[in-house]
Amino acid sequence: MAFLKKTIEKLSAGLSRTRQMFIGSLKSLLSGRKLDEKLLDDLEEMLIQADMGVASAMKIRGDLQQAFTDKRIEAGDQAIDFLKEEIKRYWPESDRSVHFASAGPTVILVAGINGCGKTTSVAKLAWRFKTEGKKVCLAAADTFRAAAVQQLTIWAERIGVDIISGSGSDPGAVVFDACDAAVARKADILLVDTAGRLHTQDNLMRELTKIRDVVSRKIPGAPHEVLLVLDATTGQNAINQARVFSEAIDVTGIFLAKLDGTAKGGIVVAIRNEVDLPVKFIGIGETYEDVEPFDPEQFVEALFA
Amino acid sequence: MFESLTEKFSDVFRKMSGRGRITEQNVRDSMRDVRTALLEADVNFKVVTQFCEDVTQKAVGAEVIKSLHPGQLMVKIVQDELTALMGPVDSRIYYVSPPPTIILMAGLQGAGKTTTCGKLAKLLVKQGKHPVVVACDLQRPAAVEQLAIVAEQVGIPSFRVEGSGNPVSVARKSIAWAGKNERDVVIIDTAGRLHIDEEMMRQVQDISSSVNPHQIYLVVDAMTGQDAVNSAREFNERLELDGVILTKFDSDARGGAALSVKAVTGKPIKFIGVGEKLSDLEEFHPDRMAGRILGMGDIVSLVEKAQGEFDAEQAAAMQEKMAKGKFTLTDFLGQMKQMQKLGSMKQILKMIPGMGGQLDAMQMDGDEMRHMEAIILSMTPSEREDPGVIEASRRRRIAKGAGQESQDVSGLIKSFTQAAGMMKQMAGMGTRDRMKMAQNMGQMGMAGGFPGKVKQRSKRLTAKQRANRKKKKRRR
């Protein structure tokens, strides 16, 4: 469980500044105070500042108030523990695991908006699966952005995994070839990197659906996972992203990237409430080793510890 | 569920304007909704609190309470405050003599620095400058190649030092290179970095102090949440920014980051990125942005967009037709086709005042346009010129031809007639009356009427007309 420790360290290091601000004020905020309107207002502010959104913050606030009314908690000090437990429950064990194919390659489709960190996240996943002893293939289906294929190729070389890229500009064709190649080379995992697209661009979203359809036609049951990469600094717009991407390609989980900054990524709470998507991985740095499975315990501890 | 900020504001003020006289409590209540709307738009919590406090003070102090039109006055106050908070703006780039003018771009990972370098370069080329982009992002794999490709698309050189791992020296060398190669602007692309990454922040400071840029821009993703203030503050402290460029404004992000960043750095927002094309960089207009946020639409941007797409002569001819009431279904169809070039119906409607809130009610499916087109195409030329001749039997024939129901045909004709009539009326109206009229039209839910209306807008706000109108107002 060495990586667990590492994650906590990394998360804590990344969050240290905010946490000092957040927790320092939380502690002084809560100790010895009665749970009154003012305290609830202050807590709500903190949740909102963590990007959890007004609706989710209000919901949690309501739960906290209810717990107080029911005498499950009595003073402000207990509110933190209550909040921790409350937020942890958003991500049960069952929906955090990766769904692998029973036979043949497991296809993981990775999508997201421009600049959220897709290509880097694909590299991280590739490294992770490779260290688990799996044979990994990458499909460079971002044929749009300048030098995106080169970027992924460099990652593939560094990590030491296969990469399939086409010469044309049709991502569908790249994916088509990649599926064949993955089967022929007996790969365990095929990671498909797609071009960043804003969820408001209908034509590009349709293109994404098409890419997904190509995958499922080539390999029955695929894609086995569809990951939406979210930048942890994103605000409420992430909910729209999650919703629209889910409609287009049935997202199965979130890769929460850039969690090593001061942003708290609280938006995943709102996304759980609004779109019901679990978080599966987190990205916590710039090298390919900076990836961990999402652990609500750590996520919440890093927020409140 | 997820109303845009615009819709939210329209809602708040619709409720208010229906109330007649309002009390101080009403003002405070309505500000609560404004607060939620701003928070949902990702404006930083502290900025929101301050903003709401300022507005409440102003509103209570002003004659809002006594005013006969409290809603309108309130809108004005909120809009003015929003504009003030986001402005003043200064999109000019100050060139130095002797050249080159050095511009440094910085920001978090994935904000869109490299793309923005290309967009900025393109803008400068348009202004007659000869920029060079410098690849100082040696961190991200293939970032140098990306910049080179972008530069090629713009048609300018990119400066790179093969195999170099030291961005400071690359930056320094680029300045000398620019001098020798007669490049008058140097745009330096840097690696994306976390504002808490001490080493990387020091690196960008080193780059900055080694070349002494004349302008330093922070590139910020418009979708950034509450954390926007933290990163912007840190970058500003380290680099003394000259301005901010907001990217990804073509999404449905409500762009609260614009307010937050402006509030903590005090630095003007210079440009906004509004698309994937390299020409998609626009000047930032706080008044338009505030108007957009307030549900007053973003007419000016729409007009500019339309002017870019529409054939000016054709448009002038069309305007004349409208004014004379000689607008026919053929023109209507032609317009619809041009409209489609502007982008999706939804995007366009969002820019029209008062329409934000009606979007859902109108239930625009993508087929709507095609159906209307089919109906018009199923008419004879004379029917298109004068839809008045269409009686029951012709209607049935047209419906059959278009694969629609009879009532769809009459619906289209009805809204067309109404729209054409209104256009004629509007041709002689002042801005305020038009605005009201547009809102009424929106509330009527006349799906068939809008293409005409949008067209109408492209007529009414040429820069000259706007200037004239302002003058007139002042005289009054």
Q: Kindly report, residue by residue over B133-143, the tens digit of the pLDDT.
A: 999 999 988 99
CATH architecture observed for domain B101-295: 3-Layer(aba) Sandwich (3.40)
pLDDT of residue B311: 57
**pLDDT tens digits, A91-121:** 888 778 899 999 889 999 999 999 999 999 9
Say if the Cβ atoms of A234 and B224 lie within 8 Å.
yes
pLDDT of residue B289: 72
Task: Extract the residue ranges of chain A whose pLDDT is less than 50.
Answer: 1-4, 15, 17-23
pLDDT of residue B310: 54
pLDDT of residue B197: 92
pLDDT of residue B287: 77
- Residues of A whose CB is below 8 A from B139: 286
| Contact A154/B at CB under 8 A | yes
> Which CATH number is correct for B3-86, 3.40.50.920, 3.40.50.620, 3.40.718.10, 1.20.120.140?
1.20.120.140
Interface test with A, best of B220, B221, B348 (most A CBs within 10 A): B221
Domains of chain A: 2-93 (1.20.120.140), 98-295 (3.40.50.300)
pLDDT of residue B347: 58
E strand segments, B108-242: 131-136, 158-159, 185-190, 215-221
Q: Which residues contact A196 (CB under 8 A, 6 or more apart)?
A: A112, A113, A114, A115, A116, A118, A142, A145
Q: Which residues of A16-25 are buried (b: 16+ CB within 10 A; e: fewer)?
A: eebbeebbee
Query: Cα separation of B458 and B305, whole Å?
Result: 9
| Contact B280/A at CB under 8 A | no
* Parts of chain B belonging to CATH 1.10.260.30: 301-448
- Burial (CB < 10 A; 0-12, 13-18, 19+), residue B403, is exposed
Say if the Cβ atoms of A151 and B225 lie within 8 Å.
no
Size of interface A-B (CB pairs under 8 A): 139
pLDDT averaged over 10-residue windows placed end to end, chain B, 476 residues: 44 59 69 82 90 85 60 72 83 87 95 95 94 94 93 95 92 94 95 93 96 95 92 94 91 82 91 89 81 53 56 64 72 72 58 48 58 87 85 90 87 79 61 53 40 37 66 61
pLDDT of residue B58: 82
Query: Cα separation of B10 and B2, whole Å?
Result: 14
Contacting A residues, span 22-81, partner chain B, CB-CB under 8 Å? 45, 48-51, 53-54
Tell me which residue in B145, B253, B256 faces A150 most closely, judged by beta carbons.
Answer: B145
Phi (first) and psi of residue B334, to 5 degrees: -60, -40
| Contact B225/A at CB under 8 A | yes
* Parts of chain B belonging to CATH 1.20.120.140: 3-86
Q: Which residues contact B313 (CB under 8 A, 6 or more apart)?
A: none
Both tokens assigned to A302: 């890093």
Interface test with B, best of A201, A206, A237 (most B CBs within 10 A): A237
- CATH superfamily assigned to domain B301-448: Signal recognition particle, SRP54 subunit, M-domain (1.10.260.30)
Which ranges in B215-255 belong to alpha helices (H)?
228-239
